[in-house]
Amino acid sequence: MTNLAQWMRTRDRVLIMGILNITPDSFFDGGRYNTFDRAVERGLRLVDEGADILDIGGESTRPGSQPVATQQELDRVVPVIEALHARTDAILSIDTTKALVAREAIAAGATVVNDISALRFDPEMADIVAGSGAFVVLMHMLGTPGTMQVDPVYSDVVQEILGFLEVRLRATMDAGIPRDRILLDPGIGFGKRLEHNLDILRNIWRFAELGPPILIGLSRKSFLGAILDASEDERLSGTIAANAAAVLNGADALRVHDVKEGRQAADVAIRLRR
């Protein structure tokens, strides 16, 4: 399996992060894998299909969603992380903004914290990550999941996200997390309109100039539905096309629901990019 520390140095292939939402209300797969047995089975299947990382979340961050209680989030994710850690060598990531959830997930076997708030929502998160030696994903988001799609406005979306990520990158390193354990995500769909998302995709190479690897998550999102006039279930082909474009424009990792198709698209696109 992929050694993440080595990959961070070489970036010799595109990493595929498979999405595993243990929630009743995530926008695409909510309710499909929200029992222990279904979640573990799904995680193992994603690894078989080519996932390098499993991104495990117990709280929906779809537009308009509200936070869940910490204990409920823990109850959803920790047993699944423990079971997957015992049964696969895949990298395990916890998708959370809560320091306590991150701490318990790391103790259960996670080695990546995927924080959509870029370590801003919980003042203890940076210390938890720094003290554990975990890797971290810093994502840009306008507002919170509950408010982010309420009239998002930018004067220059790419420049503003660049500025945000640069500030958060510096703050994260100042907190004791080295650059070689940080990935950046410009946050497609998190407080962005259709044209904002397209501008991000066209300019991934600019985010890459900040140094850390760039993770892109666009799988089946609503901007694809707006282009295609298609429901979530009908957006796979659009997702494949957009993921290929992301890699061609400089993405280092893709966060996807459909791992097999994501892996194939990434492998073709990286050959073209080279």
**How confident is the prediction for the chain on average, in pLDDT?**
95
The pLDDT confidence band at residue 31, using thresholds 50, 70 and 90, is confident
The model's pTM = 0.96
Q: How far apart are CA 65 and CA 147, in angstroms?
A: 9
Domain presence at residue 169: yes
Q: What is the pLDDT of residue 34?
A: 80
Which of 103, 168, 221, 263 is catalytic? The answer is 221
Tell me if 1 is assigned to some domain: no
Rounded Cα distance between 252 and 213, Å, is 6
Domain that holds residue 92: 14-273
Over the stretch 97-108, which tens digit does the pLDDT of each residue have? 999 999 999 999
In a domain, residue 192? The reply is yes
| Rounded average pLDDT over 18-37 | 83
CA distances to 1, 21, 44, 120, 146 from 39, in Å? 21, 8, 9, 29, 25
Q: Cβ distance 120 to 96 under 8 Å?
A: no
Let me know if 255 is a catalytic residue: yes
Please give the tally of structural domains in the chain.
Answer: 1
**Domain-located, residue 80:** yes
Report pLDDT for 222.
Answer: 95
3-state helix, strand and coil shares in percent for the chain, rounded to the nearest 5 = 45, 15, 40
Question: Is 85 inside any structural domain?
Answer: yes
Q: 71-86: buried (b, 16+ CB within 10 Å) or exposed (e) per residue?
A: eebbebbbebbbbbbe
7 within some domain: no
The answer to whether residue 98 is catalytic is: no
**Catalytic option among 255, 263, 271, 274:** 255
The average pLDDT across 84-106 equals: 98
Does residue 25 have a pLDDT over 80? no
Q: Which of 233, 187, 231 is nearest to 63 (CA)?
A: 187
In a domain, 6, yes or no: no
Instruction: Tell me whether residue 174 is exposed, middle or buried, using C-beta atoms within 10 angstroms of its C-beta: 0 to 12, 13 to 18, 19 or more.
Output: exposed
| 155-213 pLDDT per residue, tens | 999 999 999 999 999 999 999 999 999 999 999 999 999 999 999 999 999 999 999 99
pLDDT on residue 227: 98
Assign 39 to helix, strand or coil. helix
SS3 state of residue 43:
helix
Instruction: Let me know if residue 8 belongs to a domain.
Output: no
Q: What is the CATH number of the domain that holds 203?
A: 3.20.20.20
